[in-house]
Amino acid sequence: MAALRYRALLCDLRSDQVLDALPLTDVSLDDYIGKTGSASVTVPLPNRQIAARARAAVAPGRTALWIERGPEIWWGGVVWTANLTGNDRGTLGLQLGAGGWASYLDHRTVFHTQQAAAMDQFDIARGLISYAQAVDGGDIGIELGSELSGVLRDRTYRRHDQPRIRDLLDQLGAVEGGFEWRIMSYRDSGSGRRVKRLQLGAPIIKAGTSEIVLDRPGPILSYGWPIDATVQANAWQTRGASDNRNQAAESLPLMSELLVAEQDIAAGWPRLDGTADYSTVTEQATLDAHARADLATARRPRTIPEITVALDRIALSPALLGATVRVRIRDDWFAEGLDERYRVVGLAISPPLRGRPETGRLFLEAA
């Protein structure tokens, strides 16, 4: 099967007007649930004309990058860095580094206090993005849905804290009973237009209806199965915002209850302490909910195995994020045979190189 070509659509970030379309080499792209994706690509500059086009189209911080694989959009985000390279043979290339659309929200700050009372957490999330896009120059075309989670929350985001909007979204989703979020990129099947849309899922994002089976021996070329206790904890306390109202008294932060998983200690585990800071949280109930969620995660850290598959042997795409796959492995470690279902939470694509097929690396969690 012939490998499909990768192409860069370089657009104005605010209007999404196409500035140019250029071929790519050395493509590396990834996308995740719960983490901002990234892309690293090289635009070859074989002559003066192409170099002039690239110079006109690329302005880090204001240029959007859509990556097409064949007719489909596989990735979208903001170009943040550019590096012109020239080798000893006189060959020029422009290396671009980009972050997924969520990386833009790392550059947006709450400068006006935002409050929500008994509001669905999805509406709070959409409200934060709406706030970012409402100011002059802030609208990059992130589309919002209307789905609800059924979980109501009270939140106050103070302008004095100057929190980053992406951090607030992550904190809102990470609390007990929270949700997952990402900004996905795709081409609308009806109109053909490019879409960047907020995707929300409570408690998790799910996608796909048909199960994909991945075997080793078979399409699975290699795998990694990490077993990591460096972030494990069975005792936890969370720290919130400091109370600065009484200038004559020492400023002390809000603290959650100290939580200890006594059953782990009784089962023979050593005491393992963990802490976290939520400097914008001012309500005790909210801080306690963060602490309970953090301890539940830290007691049994998620194993995120990864498998690498050949894309010429099985049909995969970034739309697989949130979908369930069935992994079957039989080797000396899994002598009895592994046959389990996992949710895809990350995907990294490596294009074909000489002697190496185009591959996709899937990051998994137990379904």
Domain boundaries, the chain: 6-101, 108-201, 212-227+303-366, 235-299
212-227+303-366 maps to which CATH number? 2.30.300.10
Tell me if 31 sits within 8 A of 73, measured CB to CB.
no
Per-residue model confidence (pLDDT) at position 1 = 41
User: In angstroms, rounded to a whole number, what is the distance separating the alpha carbons of residues 231 and 336?
Assistant: 30
Q: pTM of the predicted model, to two decimals?
A: 0.88
Please give the CATH topology (third level) of the domain spanning 108-201: Phage tail protein beta-alpha-beta fold (3.55.50)
- Tokens at residue 133, please? 């896009």
Per-residue model confidence (pLDDT) at position 356 = 75
Taking only the tens of pLDDT, the chain with its 367 residues reads 445 688 999 999 999 999 999 999 889 999 999 999 999 999 999 999 999 999 999 999 999 999 999 889 999 999 999 999 998 888 999 999 999 999 999 999 999 999 999 999 999 999 999 999 999 999 999 999 999 999 999 999 999 999 999 999 999 999 999 999 999 999 998 999 999 999 999 999 998 767 889 999 999 999 999 988 999 999 999 999 887 665 656 778 999 999 999 999 999 999 999 999 998 898 999 999 999 999 999 998 878 899 999 888 887 888 899 999 999 999 999 999 999 999 999 999 988 877 778 899 999 998 7
Structural Rg of the chain based on CA atoms: 23
Per-residue model confidence (pLDDT) at position 4 = 67
The most distant pair of C-alpha atoms in the chain lies apart, rounded to whole Å, by 74
Give ∠ CA 286-127-62 in degrees, rounded to 5: 120
CA distances from 91 to 44, 51, 262, 274 (A): 8, 11, 63, 51
6-101 maps to which CATH number? 2.30.300.10
Per-residue model confidence (pLDDT) at position 244 = 63
Per-residue model confidence (pLDDT) at position 278 = 93
Per-residue model confidence (pLDDT) at position 340 = 94
Domains 6-101 and 212-227+303-366 share a fold: yes
Q: How many CA atoms lie within 13 A of 269 on its CB side?
A: 17
- Tokens at residue 94, please? 């422009």
